[in-house]
A and B are shown apart, each in its own frame.
Chain A
Amino acid sequence: MVLGILNVLSAVSLLFIAAVGLAVIFGVMGVVNLAHGEFIMLGAYASVIVVKLGLPVSVSLIVAPLAVGMIALLLEPIFFRYLYGRVMESILATWGLSIVLRQAAQLIFGAGYQSVPYPTDATITVLTTQISFYRVLAIFLALVIGLGVLWIEKRTNLGTTARAVMSNAGLASTLGVNIGRIYAGTLVFGAALAGLAGAFLAPLTSAYPSMGLSFLTNSFFAVLVGGLGSLPGLAFASGMLGSTQQIVAIFIDPVWGSVALVIVALILVRWRGTA
């Protein structure tokens, strides 16, 4: 029972961690980034490289966000800059980017799974059941990230400026806010969060070139259900979708769990639309 609850919370947390980078980018800039899954994938491969270099795997939790953030920074002036405010183009163009990144990863790392060791194999015992500490750690990481982003949003000047840009970019510009810089910064931040997610998820799923796809749709569903620009909404959506998936997975099957997630997402969005 306790194991079940912790598993559900862990699944919800993992979904949240994967989706938060997307939510930040989408919320502030309105850019649809279909290459979000690939940013996660790059973070996972960063872990692989860290391990290959002989460093402890927990270092990847710092290296991955930096690396992926840097990649986003490089891509901003040559690619993302042309997409601000253009929804259909950004869907297609970032889909193209995701194809390119996937193929590049396949060429560089090979198509197979590359496993990444857990930073810790510890287990904790709760009421006579043993649970992997790492999975429980996911819950804490989700809380830290969620509260951290919320703190930035509500308590820092940067957060206030970002919220202003999200609310009315034109007005912010006339007040002297360099919205180009805000957009670029948000992109890098969101990408770094995705990279962090990838590094954290790598031991659980192993790194493989098309891993991004399995996170992409779920992340988007979480963001769409949770509502644009709302971190609490994302938390709620992760809760609803993640727990549905996990519960169905436990009682029936992981595959039907994924199906259930999509069905619940469809229902929630449809009903919210008519409310």
Chain B
Amino acid sequence: MSWPPGIAIAHSGIDRLRLTSVGANCLIVALLASAPLWVSQYFATDILARAMLLAILALALDLAWGCCGILSLGHSAFFGLGAYAMAIVALRWDSGLAPYVGFVLAILLPALLAAVVGWFMFFGVTSSLYVAIVTLSLPVLLSAIDLRIPKLTGGLTGLSGIPSFPWAEPLYTYYLLLGALMLAIVIVTWIVRSDFGRLLMAVRDNEERARFFGYNTPALRLFIFALSAGLAGYAGALYAPYNGFVSHDLLGLVLSTSAIVWVAIGGRGTAAGPVAGALLVNILEPTLNAAFPGFWQLFLGLIFTVVVLLLPSGLFGLVGSRRPPRRGFQIIDAPPGRRTRDRMTVAARKLNLSFGSLAVLHELNLEIETGKLHCLIGPNGAGKSTLVDVITGRLRASAGDIVIDGAQAAFLPPNVIVHRGVMRTFQASNVFETQRIGDNLFLAACRRELALLTQSTNQIAMPVDARRVLQLSGLDRKLDTFAGELGHGERKWLELCMVLTAQPAIIILDEPTAGLSSIDRANVGEVLISLVREHSLGLLLIEHDLDFVKSIAERLSVLSQGTIVADGSVQAVAESPVVRQIYLGHTNAHE
């Protein structure tokens, strides 16, 4: 059977976003570059320059928050740390190298601090709240430490007399800082636009699904967090010589709070929003603060609360479309031999799991093999999805073993289990809804994460079986559609395609036919059979529909009240009294 290679090339027109995000940044930079022509020198070098530096801080925060979903409530700690590092080195070390070493330290130290803190925050059981609280405590602690070692840091009075730039003309400083801002914008835009950016968005919006495609999401977040801390430190490093002195409040919560407010008001997750928000607020603040002392901050707090509740995409959300640009996806053949294994077994042995006083799995034994179409049925609440969760690493059993190809797998995180060749679909089909179908497939196909930083590709490498399913479902004509807009049945097809694209050896499908029309159901059945027969995949289907099961399965297991009560060929098990009892409910006339 030959299937024509699926080629979908959509031309990328002028997308509204191209004009608004990158375009907006160009507009902002142009305005800033020409500013000295139409504002006073004082205004430019004092207010605008300072605003530009704080805009870099906002960008750094948004890299963590908007792009990756890390709510860093205390990001100014990194900015202040960078500023102090630069100041201390410049003041204490008499050498021509001092500023350069200071600069490097100002970037490395915050990044290092972020990496250490991140190691605690992102690994293990984590939540946005935990991240928020831990990052909130950073400025508090750094502030307190700063006061404790005044000999080094100058305590409350700070450090002054920091040598400035090696030129006298203040406008040169202005343009240097503008250049620094441009560099920061370019870096952040590059990351966001690269394939790595697509991965970050996916992790931000659906971390679990990313983990179940093999991505080490805690490590990714650690990397971005450290990067954003370094970027904040970079801004701090420039602030020190620009300002001439560094004070205690650079490390404080007031600056962090403000940064969050700028990013929220400007529009998080876009490269232009934070810059615009930071510039706007910091340009207006000196005048408004003088006019309404105290009330300005209150007003800003109110605007922030309202924006958060009613206008989550900020000002930028009002102005521009937030959709990433169309790519013109192109599907190519996956290089052969990428499948992890050809022959494999997954065995669950004596699994036990209780939720509090509720025993969900009890001495459960089950085996899944490649080349077999195996179905698992059982009444609601019997523990089927829980079993899948345990096998794929989402939950940990209280006792028992999972053995994948002879090696222990009970304590492995989900992404490692994926690398061993076992993948799953979810009962409520779980895809990256904020991404296009082509992006979803791309993310499923990809293997090496860091390499993504350097590329921005529109090619998706798919193996034959995945391409066939893509074609069958009609999704090959819809590669630019956002996954969130798909109907229920199409979403199931997409998830199946994605899983096949990742080339596992064994797939566990959780209710693949729920809610599908009978035509779709028949098609899925055919596809699954051919996957097993022609491509030797191993499939475990969690199912309700006994007729469907009887028509396609080779092996059938029954899970009831936490344990396997029947297991064998589909003919033998389907006719057994156990199954009749569970499914048809009626006891035979006289029983």
**Chains A and B belong together in one complex:** yes
Known: A258-B141, A259-B145, A266-B134. A87 touches B127 (CB 8 A): yes
Least distance between A50 CB and chain B CB atoms (Å)? 25
Tell whether, in the assembled complex, residue B137 and residue A262 are in contact, meaning their CB atoms are under 8 Å apart: yes
Chain B: residues with Cβ within 8 Å of the partner, total of 40
Tell whether, in the assembled complex, residue A87 and residue B298 are in contact, meaning their CB atoms are under 8 Å apart: no
Tell whether, in the assembled complex, residue A96 and residue B294 are in contact, meaning their CB atoms are under 8 Å apart: no
Tell whether, in the assembled complex, residue B305 and residue A97 are in contact, meaning their CB atoms are under 8 Å apart: yes
Tell whether, in the assembled complex, residue A91 and residue B128 are in contact, meaning their CB atoms are under 8 Å apart: yes
Tell whether, in the assembled complex, residue B309 and residue A87 are in contact, meaning their CB atoms are under 8 Å apart: no
**Bound form: Cα–Cα A92–B69 in Å:** 13
A156 within 8 A of B: no
Tell whether, in the assembled complex, residue B298 and residue A270 are in contact, meaning their CB atoms are under 8 Å apart: no
**Bound form: Cα–Cα A216–B89 in Å:** 34
Q: Which B residues are in CB contact (< 8 Å) with A97? A: 305
Tell whether, in the assembled complex, residue A106 and residue B294 are in contact, meaning their CB atoms are under 8 Å apart: yes
Give the contacts of B351-391 with A (CB-CB under 8 A).
Answer: none
Tell whether, in the assembled complex, residue B301 and residue A96 are in contact, meaning their CB atoms are under 8 Å apart: yes
**Bound form: Cα–Cα A213–B136 in Å:** 9
A126 within 8 A of B: no
Known: A107-B294, A272-B125. A213 touches B253 (CB 8 A): yes
A224 within 8 A of B: yes
Give the contacts of B100-154 with A (CB-CB under 8 A).
Answer: 117, 120-121, 123-130, 132-134, 136-137, 140-141, 144-145, 147-148
Q: Which A residues are in CB contact (< 8 Å) with B148? A: 253, 255-256
Least distance between A244 CB and chain B CB atoms (Å)? 14
Q: Which B residues are in CB contact (< 8 Å) with A104? A: 298
**Which residue of A has the minimal Cβ distance to B139?**
A213
A-B contact count (CB 8 A): 104
**Bound form: Cα–Cα A139–B473 in Å:** 67
Known: A95-B73, A273-B126. A89 touches B308 (CB 8 A): yes
Q: Which B residues are in CB contact (< 8 Å) with A88? A: 71, 128
Tell whether, in the assembled complex, residue B71 and residue A99 are in contact, meaning their CB atoms are under 8 Å apart: no
**Bound form: Cα–Cα A96–B297 in Å:** 11
Tell whether, in the assembled complex, residue A274 and residue B124 are in contact, meaning their CB atoms are under 8 Å apart: yes
Tell whether, in the assembled complex, residue A89 and residue B309 are in contact, meaning their CB atoms are under 8 Å apart: yes
Tell whether, in the assembled complex, residue A269 and residue B130 are in contact, meaning their CB atoms are under 8 Å apart: yes
Chain A: residues with Cβ within 8 Å of the partner, total of 41
Tell whether, in the assembled complex, residue A96 and residue B304 are in contact, meaning their CB atoms are under 8 Å apart: yes
Partner of B302, one of A100, A216, A253: A100
Known: A100-B305, A106-B294. A259 touches B141 (CB 8 A): yes
A93 within 8 A of B: yes
Q: Which A residues are in CB contact (< 8 Å) with B297? A: 99, 103, 106
Tell whether, in the assembled complex, residue B309 and residue A224 are in contact, meaning their CB atoms are under 8 Å apart: no
A183 within 8 A of B: no
A217 within 8 A of B: yes
A32 within 8 A of B: yes
Partner of A99, one of B129, B134, B304: B304
Tell whether, in the assembled complex, residue B308 and residue A96 are in contact, meaning their CB atoms are under 8 Å apart: yes
Tell whether, in the assembled complex, residue B133 and residue A220 are in contact, meaning their CB atoms are under 8 Å apart: yes
Q: Which B residues are in CB contact (< 8 Å) with A216? A: 136
Least distance between B337 CB and chain A CB atoms (Å)? 36
B43 within 8 A of A: no
**Bound form: Cα–Cα A220–B133 in Å:** 7
Partner of A82, one of B123, B140, B309: B309
A221 within 8 A of B: yes
Partner of A217, one of B136, B261, B295, B308: B136
Can you pick out 17 interface pairs between chain A and chain B where the beta carbons lie within 8 Å of each other? A87-B129, A91-B128, A96-B305, A99-B300, A103-B298, A104-B298, A210-B253, A214-B140, A217-B133, A255-B144, A255-B145, A258-B141, A258-B144, A267-B120, A270-B123, A273-B125, A274-B124
Binding site for A on B (CB under 8 A): 71, 73, 117, 120-121, 123-130, 132-134, 136-137, 140-141, 144-145, 147-148, 253, 257, 260-261, 264, 294-295, 297-298, 300-302, 304-305, 308-309
